[in-house]
Structure 1
Amino acid sequence: MAAMLGVIMIARLIAMYQGSRTMLIFLVIIFLAVNIACAVLVAIGLKYMGAAEEGILSGMHMCGHGFYGDVQLLFSMVWMLNTVWEVLALCLSVWIAVKHFRDLRHLGPSTGSTIGDCFRVLIQSHVLYFAG
């Protein structure tokens, strides 16, 4: 699921950067590095995760997992790497949005209204994604 959202994010950023091949290569390399690192960390973490335990407390069944070593640290690293990817994507989208709106302001209100409207809708949906 996260990989699918990452691919959608790359497609949106490439659209915002008007099909820049350099930006595409940069984003794909970063995306693959983050996802491969996360997959390796999760695999290592699952290897050292203990068996599930069930406890009964006052008639209620409670489930828990036992962890060996620093498994929770590995899972936190996965979360941090995904956060770094999201923050990078947010910064790139804000940067191009600010640059685009400066260009539109210098061109004047009559030119680029159709492109500006499309770009504005793309940015608004992008910001809604990050807000969610």
Structure 2
Amino acid sequence: MLIFLVIIFLAVNIACVVLGAIALKYIAAEELIFSGMHMCGYGYEGDAQFLASMVWMLNTIWEVLALCLSVRIAVKHFRDLRHLGPMTGSTIGDCFRVLTQSHVLYFASSAGVSCVELINLSPAFLVR
């Protein structure tokens, strides 16, 4: 399983770096001045916005895969704890509980950011 995860992780990240590098070639930054206020603006040429959305989609797929596997591990762990019976003062159980809570927060925030970004980039799909 670990080899599978490492291969998928490397494939997704290499693809994201390549797509990001290609997209950066077609993104032009410019300075905009509105009522004396300086702001940064970006101009997209060609398929730059589509390539950026592909990077977000690949990362979202990776996060969903990682979420499914972590839920599977958590369910398996809680089933094993149920079969062992009640234990008092379990340090390993406390560590696992903290790890699970932190991963839930991580995956929830990652899913929220990915959804917002994909909604923001959705006009790139409507044009096609």
Q: Determine if the TM-score, normalized by the shorter chain, exceeds 0.5.
A: yes
Name the structure 1 match of 2:31: 54
Structure 1 residues 56 and 129, CA gap change in structure 2 (3 angstroms): closer
Amino acid at match of 1:110: M
Contact 1:45 1:74 (C-alpha < 8 Å) held by counterparts: yes
Q: TM-score, normalised by structure 1?
A: 0.71
Size of the aligned set, in residue pairs, is 109
Structure 1 residues 112 and 81, CA gap change in structure 2 (3 angstroms): farther
SS at match of 1:73: helix
Distance in 2 (alpha carbons) for counterparts of 1:76 and 1:46: 13
Amino acid at match of 2:104: V
Amino acid at match of 1:31: F
Distance in 1 (alpha carbons) for counterparts of 2:34 and 2:40: 11
Specify which of 75, 83, 98 is matched with residue 106 of structure 1.
83
Specify which of 26, 36, 39 is matched with residue 14 of structure 2.
36
- Ranges of 4+ aligned residues in structure 1 off by more than 4 Å: none
Distance in 1 (alpha carbons) for counterparts of 2:38 and 2:91: 60
Distance in 1 (alpha carbons) for counterparts of 2:37 and 2:105: 40
After TM superposition, give the deviation of residue 94 of structure 1 in Å: 0.7
The 10-residue stretch of structure 1 (78-87 or 60-69) with the greater mean CA deviation from structure 2: 60-69
What percentage of aligned pairs have identical amino acids? 83
Q: TM-score, normalised by structure 2?
A: 0.73
The 10-residue stretch of structure 1 (106-115 or 24-33) with the greater mean CA deviation from structure 2: 106-115
Distance in 2 (alpha carbons) for counterparts of 1:68 and 1:36: 23
Amino acid at match of 2:98: V
Structure 1, unaligned runs of 5 or more: 1-22
Distance in 2 (alpha carbons) for counterparts of 1:55 and 1:110: 63
After TM superposition, give the deviation of residue 112 of structure 1 in Å: 9.6
User: What per-residue deviation string (whole Å, max 9, x for no partner) do you get for residues 41-89 of structure 1?
Assistant: 0110011223x33333322233312211110111111111111111111
Distance in 2 (alpha carbons) for counterparts of 1:81 and 1:57: 36
After TM superposition, give the deviation of residue 111 of structure 1 in Å: 8.3
Structure 1 residues 96 and 58, CA gap change in structure 2 (3 angstroms): same
